[in-house]
Amino acid sequence: MHIANEYYLIIDFEATCSDNGTVPRHEMEIIEIGAVMMNARVLEIESEFQSFVCPVRHPQLTEFCTSLTSITQRDVTDAPSFPDALRAMNDWRHGFNDALFCSWGEYDRNQLTRDCEYHGLEDPFPSGHLNLKAEFARIFGRGKGPGICEALKHVGLDFEGTHHRGLDDALNIARLVRHICLGA
């Protein structure tokens, strides 16, 4: 992976969800932003960002969502709105020049687009997006690409933290970026 950017901005979103259709996919909302800023030259994390987000379309989290993410109703009820949380993330990231938005797959990019459209906000990353899952699949010959846990296992690592938590997922993705960049 040869990218000319100074930083990789690795983002993972958690969103409202259900297992019974009560939260349709097109109405899912971001409830947690987890992000790390990785120096692309030395492949070290320089900063972290995390914020819960208060959902408005489906303000009551489903039992399935809480079980999957470990995010509780208390975590999101008094959390910032999506526009305020996005503003806080943008304020944090503006301390870093030339950062490329990266995520594991297209889900996070698509969810961000939906939430920005719903709230009438401009795309904060008009310069592009790098799908790290596709890069991993390309480099390691893994078809359409494995999930984070499977990719970690493939390179001999265990997941650290709580899976389906924004910051923990972003930190684990950053660990995979080192392998993607080094090709092994």
Give a three-class secondary structure readout of 69-97.
HCCCHHHHHCCCCHHHHHHHHHHHHCCCC
Strands 30-39 and 7-15: antiparallel
Q: Which residues contact 108 (CB under 8 A, 6 or more apart)?
A: 11, 12, 13
Active-site residue, from 14, 29, 32, 135: 14
Catalytic site residue from 6, 27, 163, 164: 164
Please give the Cα distance from 88 to 4 (Å, whole number).
26
103: left (phi over 0), alpha (psi -120 to 50) or beta: beta
Task: Report CA-CA distances (Å) from 61 to 14, 73, 76, 168.
Answer: 12, 6, 9, 20
Whole-angstrom CA distances from 19 to 16, 62, 67 are 11, 9, 11
- Tokens 């080094």 map to which residue? 182
Q: Give catalytic status of residue 14 as yes or no.
A: yes
- Please identify every residue annotated as catalytic: 14, 164
